[in-house]
Amino acid sequence: MNYLASIGSYAIMIKEVFRKPTKWSIMRALILKEIDELIFGSLGILIFISFFIGGVVAIQTALNMTNELIPKNLVGFATRQSIILEFAPTFCSIIMAGKVGSFITSSIGTMRVTEQIDALEVMGVNALNYLVFPKIIALMLYPFLIAISMYVGILGGWIAGVFGGFSTSADFIEGIQLDFIPFHVTYSFIKTLVFAFILATIPSYHGFFMKGGALEVGKAATTSFVWTSVVIIILNYLLTQLLLG
């Protein structure tokens, strides 16, 4: 029952975000600031994680190829498939739910408990549009991050595979070109865009509607991480069924 009410108020919130827009000159500055914080601010951690996970995927695949009949190019192939289909879009989004999501919840939540949101509303500002809209727009650039993550992940696989002695460079390159289906990349970016919207809005919801003081801000950030991840995992399943099934 409670969940239904939350879904309802989440939907109302989304509608409100797009009503009575803030003046463009102000909004532009807000969007640029959010791009800097949410997108560029996450670049480092995503590159770091993608690189090493890509390496581990390549090593794991190689170690499990004990049968002589399996073609050598499988290492590259498996690395590419797992990075493009799942690791980059989904795994990175869970990381982002922790990094960007809890940042969004705690910054909006702090504004709520210190009455800054009330102050906005008293002035007649549509606080939801002012706070959430620029985050949604900024995160529409999230697919670029994921594209970089895919590239770095495969690069990590190549380095670990070749320099670890698990595969030759030629085999690996052949593997990543084998049976390439461009739609898999499209599928990944569709997922990423949906996750970007979730990453911007669910943490905002938890921050905006929180009650209480500083302690509750911390709790709200945790709850927000849990729900953002759960929703991403469920949508991942549904979208995969829908687009590839």
Partner 1 sequence: MIEVNDIYKSFGDTHVLKGISTCFDKGKTNLVIGQSGSGKTVFLKCLLGLLSPDKGTISHDGKIYSQLSGDEQRNLKQEMGMVFQGSALFDSLTVEGNVMFPLEMFTKQSLSEMQDRVDFVLKRVNLVDAHKKYPSEISGGMQKRVAIARAIVMNPKYLFCDEPNSGLDPKTAILIDNLIQEITQEYDITTVVNTHDMNSVMEIGEKIIFLKNGIKEWEGTKNEIFKTDNEAVTNFVYSSELFKKVRQMYIEERN
How far apart are CB 163 and partner 1 at their closest, in Å? 45
Side-chain-facing half-sphere of 160: CA atoms under 13 Å: 23
32 lies in the site for partner 1, by CB under 8 A: no
20 lies in the site for partner 1, by CB under 8 A: yes
**Token pair 């939350």 in the structure block, residue:** 6
9 lies in the site for partner 1, by CB under 8 A: no
36 lies in the site for partner 1, by CB under 8 A: no
177 lies in the site for partner 1, by CB under 8 A: no
Q: How many residues bind partner 1 (CB under 8 A)?
A: 18
121 lies in the site for partner 1, by CB under 8 A: yes
Span between the terminal Cα atoms of the chain, in Å: 32
**Which member of 43, 63, 70, 122 binds partner 1 (CB under 8 A)?**
122
22 lies in the site for partner 1, by CB under 8 A: yes
CA distance 5 to 16: 16
110 lies in the site for partner 1, by CB under 8 A: yes
185 lies in the site for partner 1, by CB under 8 A: no
CA distance 65 to 125: 61
How far apart are CB 203 and partner 1 at their closest, in Å? 17
**Which member of 124, 165, 182, 245 binds partner 1 (CB under 8 A)?**
124
129 lies in the site for partner 1, by CB under 8 A: no
114 lies in the site for partner 1, by CB under 8 A: yes
DSSP-assigned letters across all residues of the chain: -HHHHHHHHHHHHHHHHTSSPPPHHHHHHHHHHHIIIIIIHHHHHHHHHHHHHHHHHHHHHHHT---TTS-TTHHHHHHHHHIIIIIIIIIHHHHHIIIIIHHHHHHHHHHHHTTHHHHHHHTT--HHHHHHHHHHHHHTTHHHHHHHHHHHHHHHHHHHHHHTTSS-HHHHHHHHHTT--HHHHHHHHHHHHHHHHHHHHHHHHHHHT--SSHHHHHHHHHHHHHHHHHHHHHHHHHHHHHHT-
How far apart are CB 120 and partner 1 at their closest, in Å? 8
Comparing CB distances to partner 1, the nearer of 116 and 223 is: 116
23 lies in the site for partner 1, by CB under 8 A: yes
x/- track of binding to partner 1 for residues 62-81 (CB under 8 A): --------------------
214 lies in the site for partner 1, by CB under 8 A: no
Q: What is the contact surface with partner 1 in residues (CB under 8 A)? A: 20, 22-23, 25-26, 110-111, 114-116, 118-119, 121-126
